[in-house]
Chain A
Amino acid sequence: MATVLERAPSLGGLSHVARRSYRIVADVPAIPLLILGTLTFVAVFAPVIAPHRKLTPVKPTPAQCQARFSMTDCPYVDNVPPFWMSGGRLDTPLGTDFLGRDVLSRLMYGARISLVVALTGTLFAGAIGTLLGVLAGYMGKWWDQIIMRITDAWLTLPSLVFAILLSSVRGPGVWNVVLILALVFWSRYSRAVRGEVLALRERDFVKLAEINGISTRTIVFRHLLPNVMNTVMVLFSLQLGVAVIIEASLSFLGVGVPPPEPSWGLMMAQERESLMDGKWWLAVFPGIGISMLVLSANMLGDWLRVRLDPQLRNR
């Protein structure tokens, strides 16, 4: 509030609408949006901006081959350090991995995998969970009983343990991870949405719609769904962070995204051995990527929660 008031005089000439939209813009959390925006940009344009290819080693210069193998030509040089350390090159700014592939390029493609898997997984989970939640809340009776019992049982298992169980029968694969995320996380939405719908059902506009003989389908899609979207959006952004961590953990354990693809979790797992030789950068960079992504998703979720729920404004 204070910042808006201080700057108000400079906006004096602007119209009312412009001032209001300025206030909304000033309130938007800049840091998480910036991080998310950058990561999305990198993910979308990875093939264009990545300096090297993701699966093939970087062609080393004769000087590098000479220094490492005392030969004038070699297929690749592995474990080149980042550019600020001795032996590093600006051509591969973050060094190369154990197969001589460029770490920076792989990180960029990795952002793609993390974002796509986490987004689609949470999206599916959100769709299933919201629909079931609305059904349970609005239809009541045995619909409610059955759906909520299953939801409660579903919620008892920790999400990582559940994901591991499913991955043990599905095996590795990008779409398997998406399926697992959807199966694990839907119950969180149905729980929250059902509570909302129970309260909405008693509101006048829903009662009036019922009296007017509007079909159940229209009531659900026209009147109930738009009103629970706030809750769903908050949950969505908070779950996004958890989904990223679950994907990284599964990949780390070797049952997530399969090997040649550059998933961040997988990159960390592959470099665990070289960590012991003091090559710390290989495991740290993907870890920073994961943390940044989760951090921004969480910040956005917190901001949305406070913004959409006036009771929480001063907490």
Chain B
Amino acid sequence: MTLWLLVTIIFGLVRLTGDPVAMKAEAGADAAYVARLKQDWGLDQPLPWQYLGFIGNLLRGDFGHSFEKSLPVRDIYFERLPNSLKLGFAAFIISIVLGVPLGMLSALKVNSWWDSTGKVVALFGLSMPGFFVGLVLIIVFGIHLGWLPVLGKGRSAFVGSDPSTWVTFWFRDWSHLVMPAFALGWYFSGAMLRITRSGMLDVLGSDYIKLVRLKGVPERMVVAKHALKNSMIPVLTFAGLNLLIMVNVAVVIEVIFNWPGVGQLLYDGLSNRDFPMVQGVVLMSGLMIVVLNFTIDVLYGYVDPRIRLSR
């Protein structure tokens, strides 16, 4: 249902707000050329037919053909996806490593020095755009110190037909990965910190923690055994969604570091006015998020009995 609505919204907005053919053909283009483009695209048909054709193609898993590369958008997309996933996973790990421990510390020592530090870190994390962080990293580590390579993802590649690359791909060329992953993970570590902190505070204020404390359990055990487990539920759901969002919003970071992922595909589509490419990538990211949201909802029922009961 949500998926259908999303697809309809995308179709409707694209048709209402602009004309992909007008963007492709320059202002002085010949009328016959424009007409041919329209025909190739099925844009000369009435809107309801266009809509049905669009939905039909999507159901068959056909996202259209790229203008520039004359390959199906789907094939290009899946060729690029592993690179994006690699970057996403690395950024994800960085955001957790930075965000969760700091968030826990600030929750355990509310209004202390740690808490203020955490607040400042979260604020800066949420306020400095990833591409600015990326540029600063390039300037400092790439150019001035020369420690890390600035562009590209290195030589390792994920080749679908070659099983030996399926594993090695993820563990090679780390030096290329560090800076883009940090620039991407930076923003999310701020968000992660805030979620961890408020989740932890909620749990620490609850009755069963009071009971455990009254029983005389050492504070270390209270936190490690009882509080941590329950405060991680919101963090984990949020983290799962984050991973996907990272894969999808890495556009600017991928452009800066010339990382050949899905985001770069989107950028190429934009600068070549390759509309099917842009639409295909956007549709795929919408699809992934809807599916993940649904999965999280189902899993939530297993993890948290209260939700199951209320249904």
Contacts and interface: CB of A to CB of B under 8 A. Distances in A.
A158 B285 contact: yes
Contact of A294 (B6, B10, B129): B129
A294 B129 CA distance: 9
A278 interface: yes
B135 A164 contact: no
A165 B269 CA distance: 10
B290 A160 contact: no
B136 A284 contact: yes
A192 B5 CA distance: 20
Interface in B93-137: 123-124, 126-129, 131-132, 135-136
Nearest to A150: B5
B293 A156 contact: yes
Nearest to B138: A275
Interface stretch (A5-13, A15-23, A194-202, A245-253): A245-253
Interface residues of A, number: 47
A206 B127 CA distance: 39
Nearest to B198: A315
B14 interface: yes
B270 A164 contact: yes
Interface string A274-315: 011010100110011011001100110010000000000001
A130 to B, nearest CB: 20
Given A290-B129, A298-B127, A275 B135 contact: yes
A130 B282 CA distance: 27
A246 B256 CA distance: 16
Interface string B134-157: 011011000100000010000000
Contacts of A248: 129, 131
A253 B270 contact: yes
B204 to A, nearest CB: 12
A243 interface: no
A160 B201 contact: no
A315 B143 CA distance: 42
Interface in A135-167: 149-150, 152-154, 156-158, 160-162, 164-167
Contact of A153 (B6, B23, B139, B273): B6
A165 B1 contact: no
Among B20, B127, B273, B285, residue most surrounded by chain A Cβ atoms (within 10 Å)? B127
Contacts of A161: 248-249, 251, 266, 281-282, 285-286
Interface string B230-268: 000000000000000100110110011000000000110
Given A169-B14, A183-B13, A149 B198 contact: no
Given A156-B2, A166-B13, A295-B127, A290 B132 contact: yes
B304 interface: no
A45 B196 CA distance: 43
B275 A168 contact: yes
B66 to A, nearest CB: 13
Nearest to A255: B270
A241 interface: yes
Given A171-B23, A253-B267, A245 B9 contact: no
Contact of A165 (B19, B273, B279): B279
Contacts of B198: 315
B161 interface: no
Given A165-B13, A168-B269, A284-B136, 16 more contacts: A154-B9, A156-B2, A157-B282, A157-B289, A158-B245, A165-B279, A169-B19, A170-B17, A171-B18, A179-B17, A249-B129, A253-B271, A268-B135, A276-B143, A280-B143, A302-B123
What 6 pairs between A and B have smallest CB-CB spacing? A169-B18, A287-B132, A153-B5, A295-B127, A168-B278, A294-B127
Interface of B: 1-2, 5-6, 9-10, 13-14, 17-20, 23, 123-124, 126-129, 131-132, 135-136, 138-139, 143, 150, 198, 201, 245, 248-249, 251-252, 255-256, 266-267, 269-271, 273, 275, 278-279, 281-282, 285-286, 289-290, 293
12 contacts: A160-B249, A160-B252, A164-B251, A165-B14, A168-B269, A168-B275, A169-B23, A245-B129, A268-B135, A284-B135, A287-B132, A315-B201
